[in-house]
Structure 1
Amino acid sequence: MNHSFRLPVLFLLTVTVTCCWTTDVLAQRARPTIKDRLEKDDANDDGKVSKNEFSGPDKLFERLDRDGDGQIDIEEVVGNMPVRRPETVRNSPPSSPRGVEVKRDVVFGKGGGRDLKMHIVLPKSKPSEPLPAYVWIHGGGWQGGSKEGGINQVSRIVTEGFVGATIEYRLTGEAPFPAQIEDCKCAIRFLREHADEYGIDPDRIAVGGSSAGGHLVALLGTSADVKELEGSGGWAEQSSRVQAVVDLYGPTDFSKFVTTKGFESHNRDGSPESKLLGGGEVLGNDEGIRRVNPITYIDEKDPPFLIIHGTDDPVVPANQSQLIHDALESVGVETTLKLIRGAKHGGREFHDPEIRELITTFLKKHLQPSE
């Protein structure tokens, strides 16, 4: 055989195999990259990305919106991607955002007899002093969503000198109110109990959330020491009080919500608000409306609030944020209401550098170490 012919053939085979391997590896890496991108776009953490939230081109949105319902289901899209992943990749833990370490699925208490879990996000470099904590509570109409998207929500804050956490809570398919706020309060008590372990200053805990999560963080802010909402998930000797609240377009007063023009359908049996109250039409359930409303519990000892809402929100009317802002202001609680002109229910406007800086500055201002 002509050896001068064999060498080019071997070279071509080597190049071909190498190129195929490289393409396969890049394909393997594409899957988590796309999921990370979609989770970042998922502003209200409901596990879906609307066209308004999507940061990519319209044609790509239409391709990923498999059932044509105007939303990209993150898990469905990622789960159906034609990517071959070797066992070593498939069984490895999810990667953490740059600059942070994620302790996943830490059990923080019990809800309805089962374990409740959170992800704790720590700075990679160990600080010399305890840090303030920022706890994210996901949205999803109290009936969907998960703690996963919260990792991206808190990671940027963690790199600014915080410890982060993103928590689960029982959804309405499992239990109606007050299960949701009981679980959130249990998470705060757990972090306070384990402050030394995670390098947290127990006197500096802030909460943030969007949509249904915005409602729950507002309720955390106003219902400290309200025993009927504490639950029995654990760490009863600790307080669930928080020191600052970032409320992104959360509902407050359901009676005003469902009578706002264009939002009357939220009154019907089976709406997210109805499910939270345990079923039936919202109007007429006066006690339920009172109990879930963060405004009910407001007093002058409440922590400072930063409230952000889009003026064109088609899911939660902006009057919900105006109502709680006015009520807090009336008793002398420090509150800032930022209405984003033309913004809807989440979306790109809420990722604007100005809004991110507003949140970071608010948290740093109100979680300074005590002298």
Structure 2
Amino acid sequence: MPHRIIRPIFGLLLVFMALLFVSDYAFAWPSRRIKDIAYVSPDAPGFDTERHRLDVYQPRHQSGKKQPVVIFIHGGSWNSGSKNIYWFIGRRLAKQGIVAVIINYRLAPDVEVPAMADDGAQAVRWTQQHIAEYGGDPNRIFVMGHSAGAGLAALLATDNTYFSKLGLSANPIKGAILDDPAGLDMYDYLKKMEYPNDQQYLVPFGKNPDVWRAVSPMYHVSKASPPMLLFVGGKTYPSIANSSERFRQKLTELGVRHEFTLIPGKKHIPMVLQLFWQNNIIYQQLLKLVEVRK
């Protein structure tokens, strides 16, 4: 989450969530939440009882058809964040006919970004194997994220090796929704070190430039990459605006189906807070991408 995005994201988020907590009951009825499902076997080496868990939000009234699935990956500078904060995204998606999966993953300093991406891939594999039990279509899995989570979502959508390591013959991800993404090109970012306190990102990314490049979606996107929606705030951090524009240019050059939307006046944190409201432009474009079937 480069360029001073480390500044406390949770203060504003938690105040926002506190103000809206009661609102959960106002629109919870159209959906059902199944909490704290382990997506890694508790017997597996390195299992983290808090971080290797996810929540599923399924539409309460289902048509009988398997519905598209959106996996949301939270942000937080790669060192903070929790699925529990983003219940409103799960509720909103489920209300609109999508089976939503909100995940936790391990964080720095306990692990570095490659392990976070491994966690994300395992959550996607769990979803492919089990989401039909919740009314979801395992053949229509999309990833979505904000900030650092959007960077991880882009990495999982573009680097198939995370899934081949798990024994999957193909990447299950059919598309990505990137909300003010951070980390699209950490190789370039960490080589330059342009902003105050950039040394802090050597904790989640380590000191090896080969690793910086390996976890940067910019160097994995290809003609075979799935469709993407890219949303950037008009008042976001310069590093996010710049890397998102370069990523957009690369998608265009490679012919990858995508839409790029600049949202005027939005700063970084409001880019995710706006997802509380159902009719915002991100949900509008998302519904077209995933093709909800009523």
Short-chain TM bin: 0.7 to 0.9
Cα 1:297–1:257 change in 2 (3 A) is: same
Query: Do 2:78 and 2:113's aligned partners in 1 also have CA atoms closer than 8 Å?
Result: no
> What CA deviation, in whole Å up to 9, does each residue of 1:152-175 have, x standing for no partner?
112212111110110010101211
Counterpart among 179, 202, 210 of residue 274 in structure 1: 202
Asked if 1:253 is matched to 2:185, the reply is yes
Flag the 1:354–1:237 CA change in 2: closer, same or farther, 3 A: closer
Give the TM-score taking structure 2 as reference length. Answer: 0.81
1:104 deviation in Å? 0.4
Match of 2:71 in 1: 135
Distance of 1:103 and 1:326 partners within structure 2: 39
Give the letter aligned to residue 10 of structure 2.
Answer: K
299, 317, 322: which one aligns with 2:245: 322
Which structure has more relative contact order (CA 8 Å, sep 6+)? It is 2
Kept in 2, the 8 Å contact 1:186–1:240? The answer is no
Choose 1 or 2 for highest CA Rg.
1
Question: Is residue 2:114 matched to residue 1:114?
Answer: no
Q: Does 1:48 align with 2:20?
A: no
- Residue in 2 that maps onto 1:40: none
Structure 2 counterparts to residues 284-303 of structure 1, below 5 A: 285-303=208-226
Query: Counterparts of 2:82 and 2:177 in 1: how far apart (Å)?
Result: 18
- Deviation, structure 1 residue 312: 2.6
Q: Which runs of 5+ in 2 are unaligned?
A: 1-5
- Write out per-residue CA displacement over residues 282-307 of structure 1, whole angstroms, 9 at most, x where no aligned residue: xxx42122111001111111111111
Specify every segment of 5 or more residues in structure 1 that has no aligned partner in the other structure, as ranges: 1-43, 54-71, 79-93
DSSP-derived class of the 1:141 partner = coil
Q: Name the SS for the 1:365 alignment partner.
A: helix
Identity %: 24
Q: How far apart, in 1, do the equivalents of 2:69 and 2:189 lie?
A: 32
Cα deviation code 1:247-300 (max 9, x no counterpart): 111121124435779x522532xx1x312212x4xxxx4212211100111111
The one-letter code matched in structure 2 to 1:147 is K
One-letter amino acid matched to 1:108: Y
**Residue equivalent to 1:56:** none
1:67-124 Cα deviation digits (max 9, x unpaired) = xxxxx6789x89xxxxxxxxxxxxxxx9682311100001111573334110000111
Match of 2:117 among 137, 162, 181: 181
Output the amino acid matched with 1:346: I
Q: CA deviation at 1:187?
A: 0.7
Residue 276 of structure 1 aligns to which amino acid in structure 2? Answer: P
